Structure 1
Amino acid sequence: MRRFGRTMVTAALGLAVVGGTAGWASGDDRQTAVTGPPPGTTAWRADTASGRALPDPAGATPREVARFFAGLDEAARGELVRSHPLVVGNLDGAPLPLRYEANRIAVAATGEARYASLAAPDRRILAFDPRGRGQVAEVFGDLEHAEHVSVIVPGSDNDATAYDAARKPATGPAGMAGALRSVAGGSTAVIAWVGYTTPVGVGLDAAGGRLAEAGAVRLARFTQGLDAVGAPDPVLFCHSYGSVVCGLAARHTDATDIVAFGSPGMRAGTAAALRTGARVWAARGPSDWIADIPNVEFAGLGHGADPTSAAFGARRVPAADVRGHTGYFAAGSQSLAAFAAIAKGDVR
């Protein structure tokens, strides 16, 4: 019994360093998850358009939002963008061009140098929320006319403040999205989705499911918003702690495929337990430190079974040449080629 106790304590301590892109580092900074409707909602609720009440960001479904905007003329749409950019820019179901324009206005209005690059006219910023550490989503490619759509769901240490920070090539949400888009081709749009509050470092937040649960709600609604504007059902590429988010959101999305890579677990014992119609894939490189994390759940810590294990039942993605925890999208890698094939629907 004493040996069992020591084993469980060791496992719990190991789980306290599970997480995202920072490697083996401590992280005790507990984060407050940004949830609920976007900033500016109170003023939005008090306004009207063409004599009609505006859809409540907290209660209206993305399809209801899409129907509302379809009933407005161009002038009324433009007025809402100018008057309520933070709401329109984050409103799932709103027309894509309006969201891009609204977010350019919202980013510029912050007056913060750390966000200035996001307002460049050639960027398609699909969401921007400056609360907390900030959240952002960016489209690579033409989402309005895409035949295939992929969404990158990142892990720890990702937020709007660090989104445009210098990184190694093909790492970070934007680097991963850009790399996938370049290989998958012009008919594929890829979204870098930093749409939830991620853990900082690799402490208790990364070992627990609290932030992932909040993120899963936001991811599910985001995919519903894509559906509401007529985008194809997406492929979710879920890195590290992002795979925990995807695991919890799986049954609430219409994803065709869910790809977990560098994953500490998906809060499910098997792929079937995710209760999704999507095909589930998993990849882990030979030098990824995530392999050293115990795949258990104990006292609320840990994320369960290893998605790359045979018992989990996911389809395996080749990753023998992947280096480290963030090298899955490296140019010429087996994993990037496989990811592109999945993104384009070329794998049966």
Structure 2
Amino acid sequence: MRGSQRGLRYRKTLAAVALAVTAVAGTTGWASAGAQSAVVGLPEEARDAWMRAGLPDPETLGPAQAARWFGTLSAAEQRLLVQRHPAVVGNLDGVPLELRYAANARSLQGDPRFSGRQVRQVLSYDPRGRGQVAVVVGDLRRAAHVAVVVPGSDVDAGRSAPVVAKAEALHDAAGAGTAVVAWVGYTTPVGVGVDAATGGLAEAGAGRLVRFVDGLVAAGAPEPAVFCHSYGSVVCGLAAHRLKARDVVVHGSPGMRAANVAGLRTSARVWAAKDPDDWISKVPNVRLLGLGHGADPTAPEFGARPVPADDARGHDGYFAPGTMSLRAFAAIARGEVR
């Protein structure tokens, strides 16, 4: 009898994992191709050119080291590096903000994914693969508070506009003293497939997010509040123990690969939101054989602080103007909620 009960539970768990595979990405398409390879590091050709110029290896320069090294250069030397090595300067975390903006403006010229679009302050840009980009809304140099928006599946450089729109909505709600970064800085899953139900892309994304936030702090920005949507909350969960964040806010989360807040091993305050219409509630919160992302962060036993989201709509409506969730996000971004 006991054996049959265990077998039944095991079969139910397998069925739940199968459902997670087909639901966790939050799209209606099916990605049947093989798993993607995450884009990491700097573009190889750009790094090689930098190294041939006798400059320090950018892959071994931590953000704080990069900030100190650039601080030893004259303004003319800095401008020359922007002109000759924009792909390195624009993506090297810790480099002064204005130099990164200038370098990425040069790199973006001629990219058809951005033709006809008004691109403002671009803090990172990598054309490899599907492309990655980080766009700043507000004055990051003078901001008293900073927020970073981390997206979920089906986002890349060419499809970054919805993430930028969320950053704009948060900036408008939080006020001019808060700068918001739309960080499309990792290889996201495409469609519904194995990538969305496993942690490989999230692991690679977590490392990139940690380094990016380290770079913001090294450049003089305050520790940010990080807002993580859907699969992006998996990225934030894996990054949490190394992430220099004041707050980590997940919404529409399939799980953070931790059993509870203590399992995240972070000193940041952890918040969670899920609206009643979000289909993510149908995704089983399981982990088995590498599939699934674990406990529901909005469950009371997880221990996250609740964010009101009853009037948000669907899986992607948490930043809609006028919603309780956006008002709460803005208060968290401003550091007003204790």
TM-score range, shorter chain: over 0.9
Within the candidate set 168, 182, 191, 2:172 is matched to 182
The answer on whether the counterparts of 1:21 and 1:326 sit within 8 Å (CA) in structure 2 is no
CA RMSD of aligned residues (A): 1.3
The answer on whether the counterparts of 2:285 and 2:296 sit within 8 Å (CA) in structure 1 is yes
Aligned length: 331
Q: Does 1:301 align with 2:288?
A: no
Aligned to 2:99: 98
Q: Give the letter for the 1:101 counterpart.
A: A
Alignment of 1:279-318 (within 5 A): 279-318=269-308
Within the candidate set 250, 254, 263, 1:260 is matched to 250
TM-aligned CA deviation for residue 113 of structure 1: 1.9
Deviation string 1:256-275 (CA, Å, 9 cap, x unpaired) is: 00001000000000011100
The answer on whether the counterparts of 1:38 and 1:57 sit within 8 Å (CA) in structure 2 is no
Give ranges in structure 1 of 5+ residues lacking alignment: 49-53, 165-171
Aligned to 1:116: 115
Q: Does 1:47 align with 2:53?
A: yes
The answer on whether the counterparts of 1:260 and 1:281 sit within 8 Å (CA) in structure 2 is yes
TM-aligned CA deviation for residue 9 of structure 1: 2.3
Aligned to 1:138: 135
Aligned to 2:57: 56
Within the candidate set 155, 159, 168, 1:158 is matched to 155
TM-score in terms of structure 1 length: 0.92
Within the candidate set 22, 36, 40, 2:41 is matched to 36
Q: Distance between the aligned counterparts of 2:111 and 2:63, measured in 1?
A: 30
Q: Distance between the aligned counterparts of 2:336 and 2:65, measured in 1?
A: 33
Aligned to 1:239: 229
The answer on whether the counterparts of 2:24 and 2:283 sit within 8 Å (CA) in structure 1 is no
Aligned to 1:82: 83
The answer on whether the counterparts of 2:66 and 2:94 sit within 8 Å (CA) in structure 1 is yes
Q: Would the alpha carbon gap of residues 173 and 19 (structure 1) be closer, same or farther in structure 2, given more than 3 Å must change? A: farther
Q: Distance between the aligned counterparts of 1:198 and 1:130, measured in 2?
A: 14
Q: Give the letter for the 2:177 counterpart.
A: S
2:115 alignment partner, SS class: helix
Deviation string 1:59-118 (CA, Å, 9 cap, x unpaired) is: 11111111111111111111100101111100101110110010010011xx23222256
The answer on whether the counterparts of 1:82 and 1:102 sit within 8 Å (CA) in structure 2 is yes
Deviation string 1:136-171 (CA, Å, 9 cap, x unpaired) is: 00000000111000000000000002124xxxxxxx
Deviation string 1:290-333 (CA, Å, 9 cap, x unpaired) is: 00000010111000000000110000000000110000000100
Percent of residue pairs bearing the same amino acid type: 55
1:192 alignment partner, SS class: strand
Q: Does 1:14 align with 2:4?
A: no
Q: Distance between the aligned counterparts of 2:11 and 2:61, measured in 1?
A: 50
Q: Distance between the aligned counterparts of 1:3 and 1:325, measured in 2?
A: 31
Give ranges in structure 2 of 5+ residues lacking alignment: none
Q: Would the alpha carbon gap of residues 117 and 93 (structure 1) be closer, same or farther in structure 2, given more than 3 Å must change? A: farther
TM-aligned CA deviation for residue 17 of structure 1: 2.2
2:249 alignment partner, SS class: strand
Q: Distance between the aligned counterparts of 1:10 and 1:179, measured in 2?
A: 39
TM-aligned CA deviation for residue 253 of structure 1: 1.1
1:90 alignment partner, SS class: coil
Alignment of 1:152-231 (within 5 A): 152-164=149-161, 172-231=162-221
The answer on whether the counterparts of 1:283 and 1:316 sit within 8 Å (CA) in structure 2 is yes
Q: Give the letter for the 2:31 counterpart.
A: G
TM-aligned CA deviation for residue 21 of structure 1: 4.7
Q: Distance between the aligned counterparts of 2:208 and 2:141, measured in 1?
A: 21
TM-aligned CA deviation for residue 249 of structure 1: 0.3
Q: Distance between the aligned counterparts of 2:36 and 2:83, measured in 1?
A: 32
Q: Give the letter for the 1:41 counterpart.
A: R
The answer on whether the counterparts of 2:198 and 2:293 sit within 8 Å (CA) in structure 1 is yes
Q: Distance between the aligned counterparts of 2:329 and 2:10, measured in 1?
A: 41
The answer on whether the counterparts of 2:93 and 2:212 sit within 8 Å (CA) in structure 1 is yes
Aligned to 2:240: 250
Greater Cα offset, 234-243 or 11-20: 11-20
Q: Distance between the aligned counterparts of 1:175 and 1:21, measured in 2?
A: 19
The answer on whether the counterparts of 2:13 and 2:286 sit within 8 Å (CA) in structure 1 is no
